[in-house]
Amino acid sequence: MQLENLTTKFLGKQFMFYKEIDSTQLEIWRQIENQTIKNGALILADIQTKGKGTHGRVWYTDKKDNIAFSFAVEVNCGIEKLEGITVEIAKTLVQVFKSLYNVSLEIKYPNDLTYKGKKLGGILTETKIKGENVKYVVIGIRN
Residues 14-38 have pLDDT tens digits of 999 999 999 999 999 999 999 999 9
Which pTM does this prediction carry? 0.86
How many Å apart are CA 128 and CA 138, to the nearest integer?
8
Where does the pLDDT of residue 55 fall: very low under 50, low under 70, confident under 90, or very high at 90 and above? low
What b/e readout covers 92-101, taking b as 16+ CB neighbours within 10 angstroms? Answer: ebbeebeeee
CATH architecture for residues 15-84+122-142 = 2-Layer Sandwich (3.30)
Give the model's confidence band at 47: pLDDT under 50 very low, under 70 low, under 90 confident, else very high.
Answer: confident
Residue 11 above 80 pLDDT? yes
> How high is the pLDDT of residue 66?
80
